[in-house]
Amino acid sequence: MKTELKINTTEAKQEFEGPVPELNPIMYPQSVAVIGASSAFGKWGQLILTNIVAGGFEGKIFPVNPKDTSLCGLPVYKRISDIPGPVDVAFITIPAGGVPAILEECGRKGVKGVVLITSGFSEIGSDGAALEREITEICKRWNIVLIGPNTMGIISSYAKLFATGTHTRPRPGGVAFVSQSGNLGNQLVHWASQQGIGISQFIGSGNEAMLGCADYLEYLEQDENARIIMLYMENVGDGRRLLSVARRVNQKKPVIVLKGGRTSAGKAAAASHTGSMGGEFLIFRAACSQAGILNVDAPAELLDLSAGFSSLPIPKGDRVGIVTLGGGWGVVTADACNENGLRVPDIPERIVERLNKYLPPFWSKRNPLDLVGTRDTEVPIVAVEELLKWDGIDAVISLGIIGRTELVRLLVNSTRGVDPTASVELLDEIEGFVEKYEETYVATMVDLMEHYQKPVIGVSLTRTDRGTVRAVDGKRYSGVFYQTPETAVNVLARMVDYSRFLNRQGNPSS
């Protein structure tokens, strides 16, 4: 056991000792085995195998089960020793009592990594904890890297490896997610996929018998596909090492943490969930702040920040320009900026004169830039770019430009329903024009961000089915459109916090 800081649990997990764990054979394998593969719908052996096959994994797949001869069109092997050729990673779904013997077989076979889906270890008490120590020692003896036990699996999108109980297959992207709760992690990955957020890896770390969060951070630090790292933690483990690693990793890529077990009720639930005990949360949060770790309080905020950090340039300062189609949203957003430590500076006369050419005399002539509901499709783009050009602004929040398609669609449907003389062709043309404009606006915002290296955060006028993140082919950044001004402001404020951390470390955002 390792010595712990105050923020750590009274029973530290056994973490990987030595160099960075070699996780590439697990996250980028050439061959996988599913031990306990099954045809029984809904069993773990069926969930994992069908997900790997249906997800398009391009390496070799070996189902292992002593009773079947064929599963998912693949030959089934009675034992892992029967498999011809090497196996990089084995997914194990058999009952806990049989795991030690299977791990010995994996060791003799030369398996490099194991993802142990099976539960029934330290999360159930002392007997399970003893079994967990036994399997950890077996893996160490055979130089097997162990993920789990009690995990919901892993995803490696760039390797087309989808090996979780939930059959969600997010697009490849820059967000790596490590979660001690596989169920919560799978839900967040599914929500992220619906919001257009690209995922590089998902690791359900489970009980963390061998590897803890610090180990995963060190691995992801070296993985170029992982550009931001999200953690859901219940057990802190070796807090001193975690904070040291996080401080270093944060200088390259942001680390965002949702901590479970913050309250007495949460601590009790965590103890029975992953066999962990939460530390003092206020001390934990203060220590994280020193290391530059961004703490969030809810799963939704974890998703919000992952969308922003993975899709936008990091702001260099705290000065915000606001562009809005209506005055009320601008006022609310300006208030939220001030309440979150962001500044809303007044604009120079140059910008006023430029927009005077497009807007009626009664427009706001100040920041927020109230475009008074203009229907001129060029004006929002001009307003955003004028702010980005100005060296007195570090970021822009744009409200209400995206989302008009839904309102136009409702108007068109009403007109079709009540006006038999309305031109069908004209109504189709209007609807198509608005949709095309939104696509053009998103692409233009991405181009402007790449040119000026300042974030443009959108707030949608209405809820849409297009998701928060709108990727543009061939571009580094993406359009990001939240549902509320306060969400956009909170994300921007946290990005500014991260920028300040980089500046304190002598590594300003580029």
386-420 tens-digit pLDDT:
999 999 999 999 998 888 778 888 899 999 999 99
Q: Is the pLDDT of residue 55 over 60?
A: yes
Token digits of residue 290: 């020193």
pLDDT of residue 403: 82
Whether the CB-CB separation of 501 and 292 falls below 8 Å is answered with yes
Q: What is the distance between the alpha carbons of residues 346 and 360, in angstroms, rounded to a whole number?
A: 19
Q: Which of 75-84, 276-285, 385-394, 493-502 has the lowest mean pLDDT?
A: 276-285
pLDDT of residue 201: 97
Q: How far is CA 484 from CA 59, 110, 333, in A?
A: 43, 52, 9
pLDDT single digits (tens) 332-383: 999 999 999 999 999 999 999 999 999 999 999 999 999 987 888 899 999 9
Which of 308, 368, 371 has the alpha carbon at shortest distance from 342? 368
pLDDT single digits (tens) 106-125: 999 999 999 999 999 999 99
Residues 6 or more apart whose CB falls under 8 angstroms from that of 235 comprise 9, 13, 180, 208, 212, 261, 270, 274, 275, 276, 277, 278
pLDDT of residue 7: 30
Which of 26, 20, 10 has the alpha carbon at shortest distance from 148? 26
Structure confidence at residue 274 as a pLDDT band (50, 70, 90) = very low
pLDDT of residue 3: 29
The larger pLDDT score, comparing residue 185 to residue 308, is at 308
Residues 6 or more apart whose CB falls under 8 angstroms from that of 330 comprise 322, 324, 364, 368, 369, 370, 399
The DSSP secondary structure of 139-176, one letter per residue, reads: HHHTT-EEE-SS--EEEEGGGTEEEESS---PPEEEEE
Whether the CB-CB separation of 380 and 442 falls below 8 Å is answered with no
In the three-class reduction of DSSP (H, G, I as helix; E, B as strand; rest coil), residue 296 is classed as strand
pLDDT of residue 454: 98
Structure confidence at residue 236 as a pLDDT band (50, 70, 90) = confident
Range 156-173 average pLDDT: 96
Q: How far is CA 329 from CA 338, 369, 372, 484, 486, in A?
A: 14, 11, 11, 9, 10
Q: Is the pLDDT of residue 474 over 80?
A: yes
Residues 6 or more apart whose CB falls under 8 angstroms from that of 367 comprise 321, 322, 334, 344, 345, 346, 347, 387
Tokens 């530059």, residue located: 292
The larger pLDDT score, comparing residue 220 to residue 372, is at 220
Range 3-7 average pLDDT: 31
**Structural domains for the chain:** 24-310 (3.40.50.261), 312-504 (3.40.50.261)
Residue 491 is inside which H or E element, if any? helix 485-504
Token digits of residue 424: 């069908």
Taking the model in full, what pTM does it have? 0.87
Residue 69: exposure state from Cβ atoms within 10 A (0-12, 13-18, ≥19): exposed
pLDDT of residue 305: 97
Compute the mean pLDDT over every residue in the chain, rounded to the nearest whole number: 90
Q: What's the length of the chain?
A: 510
Range 410-432 average pLDDT: 91
Q: What is the distance between the alpha carbons of residues 404 and 408, in angstroms, rounded to a whole number?
A: 6
In the three-class reduction of DSSP (H, G, I as helix; E, B as strand; rest coil), residue 77 is classed as strand
pLDDT of residue 506: 82
pLDDT of residue 57: 98
Q: In 10 A of CB 10, how many CB atoms?
A: 7
Token digits of residue 370: 């109230």
172 prior amide bond cis, ω within 30:
no
pLDDT of residue 19: 59
pLDDT of residue 145: 97
Q: Which residues pair with 153 in a beta bridge?
A: 164
Q: Is the pLDDT of residue 485 over 70?
A: yes
Token digits of residue 293: 């770790």
pLDDT of residue 509: 72
Q: Is the pLDDT of residue 1 over 50?
A: no
Token digits of residue 295: 């703490």
Share of the chain above pLDDT 70, in %: 92
pLDDT of residue 133: 97
Residues 6 or more apart whose CB falls under 8 angstroms from that of 270 comprise 234, 235, 260, 261, 276, 277, 278
Structure confidence at residue 196 as a pLDDT band (50, 70, 90) = very high
Structure confidence at residue 510 as a pLDDT band (50, 70, 90) = low
Share of the chain above pLDDT 90, in %: 75
Q: Is the pLDDT of residue 15 over 50?
A: no
In the three-class reduction of DSSP (H, G, I as helix; E, B as strand; rest coil), residue 421 is classed as coil
Q: In 10 A of CB 5, how many CB atoms?
A: 16
Which of 153, 193, 191, 216 has the alpha carbon at shortest distance from 13? 216
